[in-house]
Amino acid sequence: MRTLIDAYLDYLSIERGLSINTLLSYQEDLDLFVNFLSSKQIDYRNFSIENWQDFLRFLSKRRPSENSINRAISALRGFYKFLYREGEIKEYPFSVVSGLKTEQRLPDVVGTDVVDNMINQILNSKRKFPYRDASALELLFSAGLRVSELVGIKLPDINFGSRFIRVVGKGGKERVVPFGRRAELLLRDYMEKERPLLVKAGERGYLFLNRMGGPISRQSLWKLVKWALMQSGVKAEGKGPHLLRHSFATELLKGGADLRVVQDLLGHSSIATTQIYTHIQISQRKEAHRKFHPRA
């Protein structure tokens, strides 16, 4: 089970860009869960909703606050979702489980001006493949892609004529999403000026290549986003490629896009997942009211 926990933490680091402190906290929470399983002689594959109350009692004796309990619950639920996706368990046991009610934490977002600055920092730098890096970053923001979707893009997936791209999301679900004019221009520069230099024998047609001719890694994209944020004067701790996906959705809703359309573009299976972005909008409106209205 330790190997599975390590794999899950690697996923959180690479795919979600969580900070080292958050990863250490999740590791402590999952270690606590391992201790619970050992004390009850339960195999992790057999943990079910019937064991839930026992675990909550075990947890409440060792966690001092609602927030720390909720974090442990979140770590455990995320871990079991990971196990389910990886085929390690046949059923996800926590569909009806909820945490203690606390204030919802909103995802970090950045505005278009910050994204423009990040891209300009890349293009004006001495990076060896600035058009590759800039086009990857712009595509994450312009199309709202997950980093795992971006690294899986192959050349036949792109339609420059209509500016659409086919991606494979969670659960192997395919969707077709539009991308913007600036992404098109950066991609064309990359494909004309840099990609031919990266192609090696046996190359399998991936869009974004590393120096060895293979598909660019999620780790390198996470490092790229963090570097571009820092160069733009933005605190990068705990932020990664998913920041641009959050920002994509927020910009669409700010512009008046329907929530169902945003759900479809993001590839969310449930509208409830997309609704977090409406909370961002409400939070921004409250702040504007507090700041500018004389009766606030």
Please tell me the distance from the alpha carbon of residue 42 to that of residue 45, in angstroms, as a whole number. 8
Residue 289 appears among annotated catalytic residues: no
Q: How many domains, the chain?
A: 2
In a domain, 294, yes or no: no
Residue 81 appears among annotated catalytic residues: no
Residues 152, 211 within the same domain: yes
Return the pLDDT at 170: 80
Residues 46, 146 within the same domain: no
Q: What is the CATH number of the domain that holds 36?
A: 1.10.150.130
Residues 46, 156 within the same domain: no
Closest CA to 149 of 228, 47, 45, 266: 266
Residues 160, 28 within the same domain: no
Residues 157, 277 within the same domain: yes
List 181, 242, 291, 295, catalytic entry = 242
Task: Give the residue from 85, 103, 134 where a domain finishes.
Answer: 85
Return the pLDDT at 17: 77
In a domain, 261, yes or no: yes
In a domain, 200, yes or no: yes
Residues 6+ apart with CB under 8 A from 131: 123, 186, 189, 190, 193, 194
Residue 279 appears among annotated catalytic residues: no
Task: Give the residue from 85, 101, 136 where a domain finishes.
Answer: 85
List 195, 239, 245, 246, catalytic entry = 245
Residues 155, 279 within the same domain: yes
Residues 81, 132 within the same domain: no
Residues 129, 68 within the same domain: no
Return the pLDDT at 101: 46
Please tell me the distance from the alpha carbon of residue 251 to that of residue 255, in angstroms, as a whole number. 6
In a domain, 103, yes or no: no
In a domain, 94, yes or no: no
Please tell me the distance from the alpha carbon of residue 16 to that of residue 56, in angstroms, as a whole number. 27
Residues 15, 125 within the same domain: no
Return the pLDDT at 105: 58
In a domain, 291, yes or no: no
Chain CA centroid to CA 129, Å: 24
Q: What is the mean pLDDT of each run of 10 residues along the chain (296 residues)?
A: 86 81 88 89 84 81 76 86 87 64 63 95 96 97 93 95 91 89 96 95 89 92 94 87 90 86 87 72 57 54
Return the pLDDT at 100: 42
List 71, 146, 218, 226, catalytic entry = 146
In a domain, 125, yes or no: yes
Residues 170, 68 within the same domain: no
Return the pLDDT at 98: 54
Return the pLDDT at 184: 96
Return the pLDDT at 169: 86
Residue 146 appears among annotated catalytic residues: yes
Residue 175 appears among annotated catalytic residues: no
For residue 225, the enclosing domain spans 112-284
Return the pLDDT at 145: 94
List 105, 128, 170, 285, catalytic entry = 170
pTM for the whole thing?
A: 0.63
Residue 277 appears among annotated catalytic residues: yes
Residues 33, 156 within the same domain: no
Residues 55, 170 within the same domain: no
Up-side HSE of residue 175: CA atoms within 13 Å toward CB? 22
In a domain, 251, yes or no: yes
Q: What is the CATH number of the domain that holds 188?
A: 1.10.443.10
Return the pLDDT at 291: 63
List, for residues 159-194, the tens digit of each pLDDT value: 999 999 999 988 788 999 999 999 999 999 999 999
